[in-house]
């Protein structure tokens, strides 16, 4: 704590804090083995509670002027924020709408491109299969001519078959370019997220495959259950715990 900060604390507050520290230092043992020690510790506990209440009250008293100033500063800051939000809010709304329209257009064009690419791939595959079929027929004609002793025809059909087979292997689909122009400062990414559509099915999957890290147990609800039913009802896998809590007034 810096000296300027310490100067904000009144003398009586400092004395109270020091008294509390001295009191804590004076308690050397909290182990209870006899009834007298139990009664003595009860008195010490009440003394601790008394010090705690006094120091907390003193703390709030000293802090009140600073909190009042903070409220004034926060109010002024909110006014300044509201003023600039007169422009920032509609700007943000407009930006979101523009981004949405850009993304919709980009997705639409990408869908068209993919559809066109699929069509080009199918046409290329169809042409490849046509050429291969013709090459196979030419090869069969070449074999038939050779069997009939027509060497010239056999050679002609053999060359046709080879040329068409080479053409089939050389067939490549047309690459459809992206239609959305690139603009400096504007880019896109694909965000992925998940949502639960069947909680029971997902929980069963996690339990079956040991993926318990995907599940979060509602401890607030379980603690409320324990307070309401105590140990009268058992829950599989859950231990109901009771603990004595001392109340000091």
The predicted model scores a pTM of 0.50
Contact in structure between 16 and 58 (CB atoms under 8 Å): yes
Q: Quick one: pLDDT at residue 134?
A: 93
Q: Report d(CA 12, CA 19) in Å as an integer.
A: 10
Count of all residues that appear for the chain in the document: 249
Domain ranges within the chain, ordered by starting residue: 10-170, 197-241
Does residue 60 register a pLDDT over 80?
yes
| Cα dihedral across residues 56, 57, 58, 63: positive or negative | positive
pLDDT tens figures, 181-240: 777 887 878 888 999 999 999 999 999 999 999 999 999 999 999 999 988 888 888 999
Poorest-confidence range of 1-10, 83-92, 163-172, 219-228? 1-10
pLDDT tens figures, 101-139: 988 888 888 888 889 889 999 999 999 999 999 999 999
CA 77 vs CA 1, 63, 82: distances in Å: 27, 20, 9
What are the two backbone dihedrals, phi and then psi, of residue 29, each rounded to the nearest 5 degrees? -150, 140
Within 8 A by CB and 6+ apart from 161, the residues are 135, 136, 138, 139, 142
Q: Quick one: pLDDT at residue 3?
A: 55
Contact in structure between 139 and 176 (CB atoms under 8 Å): no
Q: Quick one: pLDDT at residue 2?
A: 56
Question: 26-30, 84-88, 181-185: which has the highest mean pLDDT?
Answer: 84-88
Q: Quick one: pLDDT at residue 179?
A: 66
Q: Quick one: pLDDT at residue 133?
A: 94
């Amino acid at each position: 704590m810096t000296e300027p900060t310490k100067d904000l604390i009144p003398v009586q507050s400092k004395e109270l804090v020091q008294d509390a520290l001295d009191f804590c230092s004076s308690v050397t043992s909290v182990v209870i083995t006899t009834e007298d020690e139990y009664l003595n510790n009860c008195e010490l506990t009440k003394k601790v509670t008394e010090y705690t209440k006094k120091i907390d009250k003193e703390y709030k008293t000293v802090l009140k002027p600073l909190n009042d100033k903070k409220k004034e500063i926060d109010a002024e800051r909110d006014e300044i924020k509201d003023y600039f939000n007169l422009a920032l809010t509609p700007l943000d709304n407009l930006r979101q709408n523009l981004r949405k329209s850009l993304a919709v257009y980009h997705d639409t064009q990408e869908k068209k491109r993919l559809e066109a690419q699929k069509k080009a791939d199918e046409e290329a595959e169809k042409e490849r299969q046509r050429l291969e079929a013709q090459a196979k027929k030419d090869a069969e004609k070449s074999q038939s001519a050779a069997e009939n002793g027509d060497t010239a025809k056999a050679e002609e059909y053999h060359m046709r078959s080879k040329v068409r087979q080479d053409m089939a292997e050389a067939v490549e689909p047309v690459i459809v370019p992206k239609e959305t122009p690139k603009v400096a400062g504007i880019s896109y990414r694909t965000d992925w997220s998940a949502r639960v559509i069947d909680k029971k099915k997902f929980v069963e999957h996690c339990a079956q495959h040991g993926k318990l890290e995907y599940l979060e147990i509602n401890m607030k609800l379980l603690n409320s259950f324990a307070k309401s039913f105590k140990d009268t009802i058992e829950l599989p896998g859950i231990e109901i715990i009771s603990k004595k809590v001392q109340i000091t007034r």
